[in-house]
Chains A and B, each alone.
Chain A
């Protein structure tokens, strides 16, 4: 007979009621003595709360309108700070910093055509359909990462091919090149994308780029794209996407109610931007032919 895990016992109704009564009485006694709870902390001498200034609230309100206003979004992508100054959100002498990654993020998230092209890559590699959602938050699967790491080391690596396809789609978009300040001619795109993809895949080893970070990029590329498709089908369907970030102690949260698609794009642009810039810097440091 299979061993039963756990020690659940059944009691008769009367006995259960008696035990419940006894339990409650004991509980009241123990609780009155301070036993039982994780001690709550209700006050702190130095709370970490930073109230938004009026200007920051204005900024938040303004950028919230961007996804719905195509013209304004385009203007913002061209020159974020100038757009904010023009609309009176920040003063002329503002020190506000908007990163390249954020410009790229705004460009990618609203760009259906580019997203479709990236998503289509996933369909060319059936093996990728198995890895959806394995890389986010609490489900960080390092064993899986190591399998990918092994794959990337092989000459016929599936992941290298995927990364190259994806980098090519991105780099061949003129606006992506402009945002990242990649100064390359159209005729050089294929070669550049190939070299950047190789750099990302770890073929070009470089101090400061850790193999696992390279690996992370590979995965985020794919996960972001797979989720783009998955969420299109599931996330908008009654908001009951059985997603991730599980709270095992309370079992409190299995349905992902966040905009997971945008969250994955955030990871995606951060890593892609960083690698593209590092690769460009690395290329500039090399002596010419």
Chain B
């Protein structure tokens, strides 16, 4: 007789996208953010979402991204403080527009540090740098390090670019950052493919392209069902994927109409999302292509989210999955249990 308690899943991270408004207007921004996008989540709703999410026992982190979350001003400080009081780590993702000097950066970060901010994540690259100088990024990073806030710098990766990890490392401000603080440059500055929102819009670095030779190196999606995202439209997403806006299946519902916990629990009953967490879209697509060799996938995608969008949009892949997923269901569920145990 089976007396096993029902499996109770939970996310580890809540990401709040309070607005899609941004001081930059990067081409190919996944949310089409720019300075003229109106609207934001009302502050009382942001605070309510944090309290609701904190009821997940598994939750450990709240991320504020966007858009540009620093446009919230004091509301951001209040939200960080609430998450901290609830025992959660916090991270702000920003383009660093506010860090125009060392003094300005410190001024802005001190109140966030006092509110409990755990990590600052600065985005740059050729696209971002058209709107925010890389000096801002380094001022922001130095101020964060000085205040004891963990810092990470994300650099867009694409073919033929000017702003690279190396360019940042060679900058005098970066040299001071790493001289003055015990930071590992390889962990602090990370490059990641810039994803085309439409096919062919971004020239990918060929070294990053996914194919049968390197697909074995790819691992499961660490965002799906692990991170839940609230958009400015107060919609809940099942992942913080760059292409999530174009994948209806990861949109769980409107938080004005349903409970966050109910929406999440329903999403956890979808085998496809579980499979994505275990194997990632790359291996699922490669598996499907073994069943149907007409699926053309090699050397077309660099980023996991990019190939995930492809998986969800390809009628051939969807057909193969529906016809053959039973062959892998036992193994996938076992691994998911291990990943989440």
Contacts and interface: CB of A to CB of B under 8 A. Distances in A.
B125 A37 contact: no
A162 interface: no
B5 to A, nearest CB: 7
Contacts of A247: 154, 192, 240-242, 305
A253 B191 contact: no
Interface residues of B, number: 122
Given A249-B28, A255-B91, A58 B247 contact: no
A213 B216 contact: yes
B32 A37 contact: yes
Interface residues of A, number: 103
Given A44-B249, A259-B340, A99 B7 contact: no
Interface stretch (B75-83, B92-100, B255-263): B92-100
A6 B2 contact: no
B127 to A, nearest CB: 9
B193 interface: yes
A240 B245 contact: no
Contact of A143 (B188, B207, B304): B207
A263 B318 contact: no
Given A10-B100, A44-B248, A98-B334, A140 B217 contact: yes
B331 A40 contact: no
Interface in A29-45: 30-31, 36-38, 40-44
B240 to A, nearest CB: 5
B65 A260 contact: no
A38 B315 contact: no
Given A4-B133, A4-B135, A42-B248, A65 B4 contact: yes
A251 B242 contact: no
Interface stretch (B48-56, B107-115, B174-182, B319-327): B319-327
Interface in B228-273: 240-242, 245-249, 251, 269-272
Nearest to A145: B214
A267 interface: yes
B20 interface: yes
Interface in A226-268: 238-240, 242, 244-260, 262-264, 266-267
B30 interface: yes
B297 interface: no
B340 A252 contact: no
A37 B37 contact: yes
Interface stretch (A102-110, A120-128, A185-193): A102-110
A240 B150 contact: yes
A38 B321 CA distance: 28
A44 B309 CA distance: 13
A61 interface: yes
Interface in A54-79: 56-68
Given A6-B132, A258-B222, A139 B190 contact: yes
A112 B28 CA distance: 46
A23 interface: yes
B279 to A, nearest CB: 8
A182 B193 CA distance: 42
A242 B7 contact: no
Contact of B152 (A44, A62, A242, A257): A242
A8 interface: yes
Interface string A1-45: 010111110100000000010011011101100001110111110
20 contacts: A5-B162, A7-B130, A27-B35, A31-B36, A44-B249, A48-B272, A50-B271, A62-B4, A64-B7, A95-B326, A97-B331, A140-B217, A213-B216, A249-B26, A249-B195, A252-B65, A254-B152, A255-B63, A259-B339, A266-B220
Interface of B: 1-2, 4-7, 12-13, 15, 20, 26, 28-32, 34-38, 60-61, 63, 65-66, 89, 91, 93-95, 97, 100, 118-119, 121-123, 125, 128-136, 150, 152, 154-157, 162-163, 167, 172, 187-188, 190-195, 197, 207-208, 212-214, 216-220, 222-223, 226-227, 240-242, 245-249, 251, 269-272, 274, 278, 280, 302-305, 311-312, 315, 318, 321-322, 325-327, 329-331, 333-341
Interface of A: 2, 4-8, 10, 20, 23-24, 26-28, 30-31, 36-38, 40-44, 46-52, 56-68, 80, 87-89, 95-99, 101-102, 105-106, 109, 133, 135-143, 145, 210, 212-213, 216-217, 219-220, 238-240, 242, 244-260, 262-264, 266-267, 270-271
Given A66-B341, A242-B150, 11 more contacts: A6-B129, A24-B38, A27-B36, A31-B38, A37-B37, A101-B331, A137-B222, A141-B207, A248-B155, A248-B194, A251-B65
